[in-house]
Amino acid sequence: MEIARTVDDVRTAVRGPRSRGKNISLVPTMGALHVGHLSLLEAARKTGGFSVVSIYVNPTQFAPSEDYQQYPRSFDPDCDACRNMGVDLVFAPSDTEIYPPGDQTRVRPGPLADGLCGPFRTGHFEGVCTIVAKLFNIVGPDIAFFGQKDAQQAVIIQRMVEDLRLPVRVEVRPTVREPDGLAMSSRNVRLSPDERKQALTLYGALCAAQDRLQSGERSIGRTVAAMRTVIAAYPEIKVDYLSIVDPATLQSVSEPAGKMLIAGAIRIGQTRLIDNIIVEVERS
Protein backbone atom coordinates (compact mmCIF):
# COMPACT_ATOMS: atom_id res chain seq x y z
CA MET A 1 0.00 0.00 0.00
CA GLU A 2 1.31 3.40 -0.97
CA ILE A 3 0.93 6.57 1.12
CA ALA A 4 0.75 9.77 -0.90
CA ARG A 5 1.19 13.20 0.67
CA THR A 6 0.93 15.40 -2.40
CA VAL A 7 -1.48 16.00 -5.26
CA ASP A 8 1.25 15.12 -7.76
CA ASP A 9 1.96 11.80 -6.02
CA VAL A 10 -1.73 10.83 -6.11
CA ARG A 11 -2.07 11.71 -9.78
CA THR A 12 1.06 9.70 -10.58
CA ALA A 13 -0.17 6.71 -8.54
CA VAL A 14 -3.57 6.49 -10.24
CA ARG A 15 -2.24 7.02 -13.78
CA GLY A 16 -0.91 3.45 -14.14
CA PRO A 17 -4.01 1.53 -12.96
CA ARG A 18 -6.27 3.86 -14.95
CA SER A 19 -4.31 3.31 -18.14
CA ARG A 20 -4.64 -0.46 -17.56
CA GLY A 21 -8.42 0.01 -17.55
CA LYS A 22 -8.91 -0.26 -13.79
CA ASN A 23 -11.71 1.70 -12.15
CA ILE A 24 -10.59 4.12 -9.45
CA SER A 25 -12.62 4.16 -6.22
CA LEU A 26 -12.39 6.74 -3.45
CA VAL A 27 -13.45 6.66 0.21
CA PRO A 28 -13.06 10.15 1.74
CA THR A 29 -12.54 10.05 5.53
CA MET A 30 -11.24 12.16 8.36
CA GLY A 31 -9.42 9.16 9.82
CA ALA A 32 -9.91 7.68 13.33
CA LEU A 33 -11.23 4.75 11.34
CA HIS A 34 -13.86 2.41 12.81
CA VAL A 35 -15.90 -0.49 11.49
CA GLY A 36 -18.30 1.91 9.74
CA HIS A 37 -15.42 3.26 7.65
CA LEU A 38 -14.18 -0.28 7.04
CA SER A 39 -17.53 -1.19 5.47
CA LEU A 40 -16.88 1.54 2.89
CA LEU A 41 -13.34 0.26 2.32
CA GLU A 42 -14.76 -3.22 1.81
CA ALA A 43 -17.26 -1.89 -0.74
CA ALA A 44 -14.39 -0.15 -2.54
CA ARG A 45 -12.31 -3.32 -2.52
CA LYS A 46 -15.20 -5.28 -3.99
CA THR A 47 -15.25 -3.06 -7.08
CA GLY A 48 -12.03 -4.86 -8.06
CA GLY A 49 -10.45 -1.59 -9.09
CA PHE A 50 -7.74 0.61 -7.59
CA SER A 51 -8.93 1.86 -4.19
CA VAL A 52 -7.95 5.19 -2.67
CA VAL A 53 -8.74 6.28 0.90
CA SER A 54 -8.21 9.89 1.87
CA ILE A 55 -7.43 10.67 5.49
CA TYR A 56 -7.70 14.38 6.12
CA VAL A 57 -9.29 16.34 8.96
CA ASN A 58 -10.64 19.20 6.90
CA PRO A 59 -10.44 22.48 8.83
CA THR A 60 -12.96 24.37 6.68
CA GLN A 61 -15.86 22.11 7.71
CA PHE A 62 -15.42 22.99 11.39
CA ALA A 63 -16.85 26.26 12.73
CA PRO A 64 -14.46 28.17 15.04
CA SER A 65 -16.42 26.95 18.11
CA GLU A 66 -16.21 23.29 17.03
CA ASP A 67 -13.88 20.41 17.84
CA TYR A 68 -11.29 20.64 15.04
CA GLN A 69 -8.37 20.58 17.52
CA GLN A 70 -9.92 17.77 19.63
CA TYR A 71 -11.02 15.64 16.66
CA PRO A 72 -9.50 12.16 17.22
CA ARG A 73 -6.44 11.43 15.08
CA SER A 74 -4.82 7.99 14.76
CA PHE A 75 -2.84 7.92 11.54
CA ASP A 76 -0.66 4.82 12.05
CA PRO A 77 -3.49 2.46 13.17
CA ASP A 78 -5.61 3.91 10.33
CA CYS A 79 -2.91 2.96 7.81
CA ASP A 80 -2.70 -0.54 9.30
CA ALA A 81 -6.48 -0.90 8.94
CA CYS A 82 -6.33 0.29 5.32
CA ARG A 83 -3.51 -2.15 4.57
CA ASN A 84 -5.51 -5.02 6.09
CA MET A 85 -8.52 -4.06 3.99
CA GLY A 86 -6.50 -4.23 0.77
CA VAL A 87 -6.52 -0.48 0.11
CA ASP A 88 -4.11 0.46 -2.69
CA LEU A 89 -3.39 4.08 -1.83
CA VAL A 90 -3.85 6.32 1.23
CA PHE A 91 -3.89 10.03 0.49
CA ALA A 92 -2.95 12.01 3.58
CA PRO A 93 -2.27 15.59 2.49
CA SER A 94 -1.09 18.59 4.49
CA ASP A 95 -3.33 21.65 4.81
CA THR A 96 -1.27 23.61 2.28
CA GLU A 97 -1.53 20.78 -0.24
CA ILE A 98 -5.33 21.09 -0.09
CA TYR A 99 -5.57 24.84 0.53
CA PRO A 100 -2.59 26.36 -1.32
CA PRO A 101 -1.31 29.80 -0.33
CA GLY A 102 -3.86 32.42 -1.35
CA ASP A 103 -6.65 29.84 -1.54
CA GLN A 104 -10.08 31.50 -1.61
CA THR A 105 -12.44 29.40 -3.75
CA ARG A 106 -15.32 27.51 -2.11
CA VAL A 107 -18.14 25.24 -3.30
CA ARG A 108 -21.38 26.47 -1.75
CA PRO A 109 -24.34 24.07 -1.58
CA GLY A 110 -27.94 25.22 -2.02
CA PRO A 111 -31.03 24.90 0.17
CA LEU A 112 -30.36 21.20 0.95
CA ALA A 113 -27.84 22.58 3.45
CA ASP A 114 -30.34 24.92 5.11
CA GLY A 115 -32.14 22.42 7.38
CA LEU A 116 -31.18 19.61 9.80
CA CYS A 117 -27.49 20.16 10.75
CA GLY A 118 -27.18 23.34 8.63
CA PRO A 119 -28.35 25.93 11.18
CA PHE A 120 -26.27 24.32 13.95
CA ARG A 121 -23.03 24.06 11.96
CA THR A 122 -22.46 27.31 10.10
CA GLY A 123 -20.38 26.78 6.97
CA HIS A 124 -20.05 23.04 7.58
CA PHE A 125 -21.54 21.83 4.31
CA GLU A 126 -19.67 24.47 2.31
CA GLY A 127 -16.47 23.04 3.82
CA VAL A 128 -17.63 19.49 3.02
CA CYS A 129 -18.52 20.30 -0.60
CA THR A 130 -15.23 22.13 -1.07
CA ILE A 131 -13.06 19.30 0.24
CA VAL A 132 -15.01 16.58 -1.57
CA ALA A 133 -14.87 18.52 -4.86
CA LYS A 134 -11.12 18.97 -4.40
CA LEU A 135 -10.63 15.26 -3.64
CA PHE A 136 -12.69 14.28 -6.68
CA ASN A 137 -10.58 16.64 -8.77
CA ILE A 138 -7.30 15.33 -7.37
CA VAL A 139 -8.08 11.58 -7.42
CA GLY A 140 -10.50 11.48 -10.37
CA PRO A 141 -12.48 8.50 -9.01
CA ASP A 142 -15.03 6.59 -11.09
CA ILE A 143 -16.93 5.74 -7.91
CA ALA A 144 -16.94 7.26 -4.42
CA PHE A 145 -18.38 5.73 -1.27
CA PHE A 146 -20.18 7.62 1.49
CA GLY A 147 -22.11 6.53 4.61
CA GLN A 148 -25.83 6.88 5.21
CA LYS A 149 -24.84 7.85 8.77
CA ASP A 150 -24.26 11.37 7.36
CA ALA A 151 -27.51 11.37 5.39
CA GLN A 152 -27.64 15.12 4.73
CA GLN A 153 -24.02 15.11 3.57
CA ALA A 154 -24.73 12.24 1.16
CA VAL A 155 -27.73 14.04 -0.39
CA ILE A 156 -25.77 17.30 -0.73
CA ILE A 157 -22.79 15.53 -2.34
CA GLN A 158 -25.06 13.74 -4.82
CA ARG A 159 -26.60 17.11 -5.73
CA MET A 160 -23.14 18.68 -6.11
CA VAL A 161 -22.00 15.86 -8.42
CA GLU A 162 -25.09 16.39 -10.57
CA ASP A 163 -24.86 20.19 -10.56
CA LEU A 164 -21.12 20.37 -11.30
CA ARG A 165 -21.42 17.54 -13.82
CA LEU A 166 -18.65 15.62 -12.07
CA PRO A 167 -17.84 12.28 -13.75
CA VAL A 168 -18.16 10.15 -10.60
CA ARG A 169 -20.78 7.74 -9.31
CA VAL A 170 -21.70 8.24 -5.65
CA GLU A 171 -22.68 5.15 -3.70
CA VAL A 172 -24.21 5.47 -0.23
CA ARG A 173 -23.72 2.53 2.16
CA PRO A 174 -25.79 1.62 5.23
CA THR A 175 -24.96 2.86 8.72
CA VAL A 176 -22.89 0.40 10.76
CA ARG A 177 -23.92 0.19 14.42
CA GLU A 178 -22.54 -1.15 17.68
CA PRO A 179 -24.34 -4.31 18.87
CA ASP A 180 -26.66 -2.18 21.05
CA GLY A 181 -27.58 0.08 18.12
CA LEU A 182 -25.34 3.12 18.66
CA ALA A 183 -24.17 4.39 15.27
CA MET A 184 -20.41 4.05 14.99
CA SER A 185 -18.68 7.41 14.97
CA SER A 186 -15.11 8.62 15.38
CA ARG A 187 -16.42 10.87 18.14
CA ASN A 188 -17.74 7.94 20.24
CA VAL A 189 -14.25 7.44 21.73
CA ARG A 190 -14.68 10.75 23.55
CA LEU A 191 -17.77 9.57 25.46
CA SER A 192 -17.36 8.61 29.12
CA PRO A 193 -19.11 5.36 30.15
CA ASP A 194 -22.04 7.40 31.47
CA GLU A 195 -22.22 9.53 28.31
CA ARG A 196 -22.02 6.37 26.22
CA LYS A 197 -25.24 5.19 27.92
CA GLN A 198 -26.91 8.53 27.25
CA ALA A 199 -25.81 8.44 23.61
CA LEU A 200 -27.92 5.37 22.96
CA THR A 201 -31.11 7.36 23.54
CA LEU A 202 -30.67 8.98 20.11
CA TYR A 203 -31.08 5.65 18.36
CA GLY A 204 -33.84 4.79 20.88
CA ALA A 205 -35.71 7.95 19.89
CA LEU A 206 -35.36 7.21 16.16
CA CYS A 207 -36.64 3.66 16.71
CA ALA A 208 -39.56 4.94 18.81
CA ALA A 209 -40.57 7.19 15.90
CA GLN A 210 -40.17 4.34 13.43
CA ASP A 211 -42.35 2.03 15.56
CA ARG A 212 -45.06 4.66 15.88
CA LEU A 213 -45.15 5.42 12.17
CA GLN A 214 -45.17 1.74 11.26
CA SER A 215 -48.05 1.17 13.70
CA GLY A 216 -50.19 3.66 11.82
CA GLU A 217 -49.52 6.95 13.67
CA ARG A 218 -50.88 9.75 11.47
CA SER A 219 -49.38 12.72 13.29
CA ILE A 220 -45.80 13.89 12.68
CA GLY A 221 -46.13 16.26 15.66
CA ARG A 222 -46.97 13.42 18.06
CA THR A 223 -44.16 11.31 16.61
CA VAL A 224 -41.56 14.04 17.15
CA ALA A 225 -42.93 14.60 20.68
CA ALA A 226 -42.45 10.87 21.37
CA MET A 227 -38.81 11.16 20.27
CA ARG A 228 -38.29 14.12 22.61
CA THR A 229 -39.77 12.11 25.49
CA VAL A 230 -37.18 9.34 24.96
CA ILE A 231 -34.31 11.85 25.04
CA ALA A 232 -35.80 13.64 28.06
CA ALA A 233 -34.83 10.62 30.20
CA TYR A 234 -31.48 12.43 30.42
CA PRO A 235 -32.11 16.16 31.00
CA GLU A 236 -28.39 16.87 30.51
CA ILE A 237 -28.67 15.99 26.79
CA LYS A 238 -29.12 19.00 24.52
CA VAL A 239 -31.21 18.35 21.42
CA ASP A 240 -30.15 20.22 18.28
CA TYR A 241 -33.03 18.73 16.29
CA LEU A 242 -35.25 15.70 15.90
CA SER A 243 -36.91 15.82 12.50
CA ILE A 244 -38.84 13.78 9.99
CA VAL A 245 -38.06 14.82 6.42
CA ASP A 246 -38.29 13.69 2.83
CA PRO A 247 -35.07 11.68 2.21
CA ALA A 248 -34.49 13.32 -1.18
CA THR A 249 -35.46 16.96 -0.60
CA LEU A 250 -34.78 17.04 3.17
CA GLN A 251 -37.97 19.11 3.55
CA SER A 252 -40.16 18.44 6.60
CA VAL A 253 -43.05 16.12 5.91
CA SER A 254 -46.48 17.20 7.09
CA GLU A 255 -48.02 13.76 7.28
CA PRO A 256 -46.65 10.21 7.17
CA ALA A 257 -46.42 8.91 3.59
CA GLY A 258 -43.92 6.90 1.59
CA LYS A 259 -40.24 7.01 2.54
CA MET A 260 -39.23 9.31 5.37
CA LEU A 261 -35.88 10.15 6.94
CA ILE A 262 -36.04 10.29 10.72
CA ALA A 263 -32.97 12.25 11.75
CA GLY A 264 -31.55 13.72 14.92
CA ALA A 265 -28.57 15.49 16.44
CA ILE A 266 -27.83 15.74 20.14
CA ARG A 267 -25.03 17.10 22.30
CA ILE A 268 -23.70 15.18 25.26
CA GLY A 269 -21.07 17.16 27.11
CA GLN A 270 -18.58 18.32 24.47
CA THR A 271 -19.64 15.67 21.96
CA ARG A 272 -22.17 16.16 19.17
CA LEU A 273 -23.76 13.01 17.76
CA ILE A 274 -25.99 12.50 14.73
CA ASP A 275 -27.99 9.52 13.52
CA ASN A 276 -30.89 8.70 11.22
CA ILE A 277 -33.04 5.89 9.92
CA ILE A 278 -35.29 5.62 6.89
CA VAL A 279 -38.83 4.37 7.42
CA GLU A 280 -41.40 3.61 4.77
CA VAL A 281 -45.16 3.55 5.29
CA GLU A 282 -47.90 3.00 2.76
CA ARG A 283 -49.42 6.08 1.23
CA SER A 284 -53.06 6.40 2.31
Positions in the binding site for ligand AMP (CB under 6 A): 29-30, 36-37, 39-40, 146-147, 149-150, 173, 175-176, 183-186
Least gap, CB of 34 to ligand AMP (angstroms):
7
How far is the C-alpha of 180 from the C-alpha of 201, rounded, in Å?
Answer: 11
CA 59, 174, 261, 163 torsion-angle sign: positive
Least gap, CB of 279 to ligand AMP (angstroms):
18
Least gap, CB of 40 to ligand AMP (angstroms):
6
Nearer to ligand AMP, 39 or 60 (CB): 39
Least gap, CB of 12 to ligand AMP (angstroms):
25
Nearer to ligand AMP, 109 or 256 (CB): 109
Rounded to the nearest 10°, the torsion over CA 55, 59, 65, 69 is 50
| Residues in CB range of 51: below 8 A, 6 or more apart | 25, 26, 27, 41, 44, 45, 86, 87, 88, 89
Look at residue 261 and give its three-state secondary structure.
strand
Of the candidates 74, 59, 55, 73, the one whose C-alpha atom is nearest the C-alpha of residue 135 is 55
Is residue 37 flagged as an active site residue?
yes
| Residues in CB range of 84: below 8 A, 6 or more apart | none
Look at residue 12 and give its three-state secondary structure.
helix
Nearer to ligand AMP, 125 or 224 (CB): 125
Longest dimension (CA), the chain: 58
Nearer to ligand AMP, 133 or 224 (CB): 133
Of the candidates 32, 37, 51, 93, the residue annotated as catalytic is: 37
Least gap, CB of 29 to ligand AMP (angstroms):
4
How far is the C-alpha of 33 from the C-alpha of 80, rounded, in Å?
Answer: 10
Which stretches within 102-247 are classed as H helix?
124-139, 151-163, 193-214, 220-231
**Annotated catalytic sites, by residue?**
37
